[in-house]
A and B are shown apart, each in its own frame.
Chain A
Amino acid sequence: MAKKTIMLGNEAIARGAFEAGVKVSSAYPGTPSTEISEYLAKYEEVYTEWAPNEKVAAEVAIGASIAGVRSMACMKHVGLNVAADPLYTFAYTGVGGGSVIVVADDPGLASSQNEQDTRMIARAAHVPVLEPSDSQEAKDFMKYAYELSEAYDTPVILRTTTKLAHSQSTVELCDRVEVETKKYERSVPKFVMMPASAIGRHLVVEDRENRMAKDAASFPINRMEMGDTEIGFITCGIAYQYVKEVCPNASVLKLGLVNPISRELVEEFCGKVKTVYVFEELEPVIEEQVRAWGFSVKGKECFTRQGEYSANLLKKVLYGADDAVFAKADTPNRPPILCPGCPHRSVFSVLNKLKIHAAGDIGCYTLGAVAPLSVIDTTICMGASISTLHGMEKACGEGYVKNWVAVIGDSTFLHTGINSLINMVYNKATGTVMILDNRTTGMTGHQEHAATGKTLKGEDTNAVDLAELCHAVGVKNVIEVNAFDVVELERIVKESVASDTLTVIITKSPCVLLKGQKFPNRCAVNPDACRKCGACMKIGCPAMTRGEDGKVRIDETMCNGCGLCKNYCKFNAIETVVR
């Protein structure tokens, strides 16, 4: 009997890639896709790496595919924007060895800056999309994706969403199948996408998509579950589970292939069922096609485009009420915050004191936007901090950025920040860029990157020197400083923003959650010395609270001993205590 185990959706995707005989995988971390690569890295048979960004990752997968092996790239939805350039043309060339790009969407924004729907990009790029609805399907669909990729000579996207990626369900394990490397044959019309070749390939793409749409009626990943024909649902992905939860007896057309869609199946289903709902999270991708074919269905007029769906949401629409019994209590929010001991807090405490605005970026430091630090003014996408600061200067002059900086993490800087810095050098900017170097990709759960000296597999490797890199692209003024040296940091920031020279300040201190980075001691308030002034509370450390007497207390289990608070106590009431 096959071995059964319980797996996270992301682990099942990695398992599927392993069983399918994948040889090369490249990725950039991004919630909710990160763990796929971390699980895959555990299989010795698969070469797995972190790339500096998703475009690089997709191109690595393309190269491996052309060389004849099964390859994959993994990313979150916004990462696909970065990888869109190679994706659109990969659709033209088709593959050598099968190739799958796993893209994780984030409806409900658990950890993202927007809610875009990957199926829209896939439609525009003419790339097939498979969407599983539990961990077993995640594994099975991965394997099927490679079969389709090779049978139809196309890259395939496996789309997941947060709930699928981060929920666990049972999976039956199979053995890995080693796939023979395809023999490489030089083919200019297929792999050199200059106009003369690309014209021909565009026609190939159209023909391929039409063939697949026609064949899709017999694909096992599409399934019709006929029951009560008064009401039926066309659905896909995790939304299928909510339909089964609420209406176990309804008829369901469950689409595993969500681009292209089988018209034959839709026609058959709509012919048999009286009232058809299209139940899909985010954009009405299936709904619009079904309507365009002339079938009458209910969709986004009943169900929102925003957020995750649920069984209760469906119940409310169908029956006018959900399961709720008790009223929701009015409670103070508990938003995520920078951890106790986080070096970003130290940097932001200085910027807050100097009343400096920060063009922000994507990472834990986005949390510097909220009170009491309230330092970050903008967050757009990876790398945007540096270029938006530059745009401000060009719009309003050098004076405008005298109380602004750009802040960006080390991993994000290497992702796409470096391009923006080159632009600043080239176009004579005078602003101040702060690289918050905490030696890791923090927000996604501590992944290695090109400047950490370790690979995804844990091997030692070359490390990019960030200061040298900045010098090399032409930044004259590069200053490195300990992130917790607030006196020195304050002096440097003041000087840099006032000067007319482009400056990069690299604040250095490892993420406190990294192994071995906990400070040796902890801090405690001497209640006799505390004057209740509250100055220390302005750094927003979650380990610090006020007691009923108004005096500050530091929770000994939460305090990581960074000592930042001591800098902000005029009365020396905070002491270092041996842990």
Chain B
Amino acid sequence: MTKNIMIVGVGGQGTLLTSRIIGKTAMEMGLDVKISEVHGMAQRGGSVVTFVRFGEKVYEPVVEEGQADVIIAFERLEALRYAHFLKKDGVLVVNDCRIDPMTVVIGAKQYPAEILEGLKQEHELYAIDGQSIAKELGNAKVLNSVVLGYAAKFIGFEKDTWLDVIASTVPQKTIEINQNAFLKGYDSHQA
């Protein structure tokens, strides 16, 4: 059975690295993997979505509407934008933060109110304050590892496999803090 994961966020939040860690972890488990990324213009602070699919044999590199088992959203509005990609019983993991798009900044549009409350009506939703945990650890940039750790339960695989792949993927200097960030996310779930 193919598992479909989406990572959505705002350009610069680390969606690409997160999708690569998930993909590599699946490959370590001997599965066929496809990852689809976004490069170029769209990365410049825009809405960014990456896909990871793994299973016995994977054809299409993207996840489409109604197919996602898990969506990891690094921002609330992006969670709302892509929630309709979930399967009926899909899981939405949201980093509880707000980044205003330029349309909101200049007053042309309103940032939707009570996004998480609305999404909870239809979906199984888990929220985490990734930035606060990342800041406590001393680096706001590792919020993606915190959220990944939090979402790992729904993706599968052993904790140690995740940690090994993080070690072989992130820059040498940030291995320890990324692993700690992952564990913080991972454990806050269990609690």
> Which A residues are closer than 8 A to B by beta carbons?
6, 8, 31-32, 34-35, 110-111, 134, 163, 166-170, 238, 241-242, 244-245, 310-312, 322-329, 331-339, 364, 367, 370-372, 443-445, 537, 540, 542, 544-546, 557
Contacts and interface: CB of A to CB of B under 8 A. Distances in A.
B103 A332 contact: yes
B35 to A, nearest CB: 4
Interface string B22-56: 01100100001111111111111111000000000
A540 B66 contact: no
Contacts of B86: 325-326
**For the complex, would chain A's binding face be called helix, strand, loop or mixed by DSSP majority?**
loop
Contact of B34 (A168, A242, A326, A445): A168
Contacts of B40: 31-32, 110-111, 443-445
Pick from A333, A444, A445 the residue with the most CB of B within 10 Å.
Answer: A333
B133 to A, nearest CB: 14
Given A326-B66, A333-B101, 18 more contacts: A31-B39, A111-B40, A167-B36, A169-B61, A312-B66, A322-B66, A326-B122, A329-B83, A329-B84, A332-B109, A332-B112, A333-B47, A337-B45, A364-B41, A542-B99, A542-B102, A544-B105, A557-B131
A370 B80 contact: no
A337 B44 contact: yes
A334 B59 contact: no
Contacts of A110: 38-42
B117 interface: no
A65 B38 CA distance: 34
Interface residues of B, number: 58
Q: Which 8 A-B pairs have the closest CB atoms?
A: A323-B66, A111-B40, A31-B40, A336-B46, A332-B109, A167-B61, A334-B101, A111-B41
B64 A311 contact: yes
Contact of B41 (A31, A167, A334): A31
A332 B42 contact: no
Interface in B3-23: 10-12, 20, 23
Interface string B129-154: 00100000000100000000000000
B80 A329 contact: yes
- Listed residue (B38, B65, B99, B111) with the most chain A CB atoms within 10 angstroms of its CB: B65
Nearest to A6: B27
A378 B60 CA distance: 37
B100 interface: yes
Contact of A241 (B43, B59, B67, B111): B59
Nearest to A9: B61
25 contacts: A6-B27, A6-B33, A35-B39, A111-B40, A168-B34, A170-B32, A170-B33, A244-B59, A312-B66, A323-B67, A326-B66, A326-B86, A329-B80, A332-B104, A334-B46, A334-B78, A334-B102, A334-B103, A335-B47, A337-B46, A339-B44, A364-B44, A371-B108, A443-B41, A542-B102
B87 interface: yes
Contacts of A336: 11, 41-46
A333 B103 contact: yes
A135 to B, nearest CB: 9
B170 interface: no
A332 B101 contact: yes
B60 A241 contact: yes
Nearest to A243: B59
B39 A445 contact: yes
Given A111-B41, A323-B65, A332 B11 contact: no
B120 interface: no
Nearest to A35: B39
A169 B33 contact: yes
Nearest to B47: A334
A210 B10 CA distance: 50
A534 to B, nearest CB: 8
Contacts of A170: 27, 32-33
Contacts of A545: 100, 104-105
Contacts of A328: 65, 84
B61 A163 contact: yes
A6 B20 CA distance: 9
B62 interface: yes
A537 B106 contact: yes
B35 A167 contact: yes
A540 B81 CA distance: 22
Contact of A372 (B41, B66, B106, B109): B106
Contacts of A542: 45, 99-100, 102, 105
B77 interface: yes
B159 interface: no
Contacts of B83: 326, 329
A173 B99 CA distance: 42
B110 interface: yes
Contact of A331 (B11, B44, B112): B112
Nearest to A308: B62
A339 B65 contact: no
A312 B77 contact: no
A542 B105 CA distance: 8
A402 to B, nearest CB: 29
A332 B77 contact: yes
A167 B36 CA distance: 4
Contacts of A242: 59-60
B122 A310 contact: no
A32 B43 CA distance: 13
A546 B35 CA distance: 37
B64 A322 contact: yes
Nearest to A315: B64
Contacts of B140: 557
Nearest to B27: A6
A134 B32 CA distance: 12
B64 A312 contact: yes
A163 B64 contact: no
Contact of A32 (B39, B65, B106): B39
Nearest to B108: A371
Nearest to A333: B103
A548 B39 CA distance: 34
A443 B81 CA distance: 25
Interface string B60-99: 1110111100000000011011011011100000000001
A238 B106 contact: no
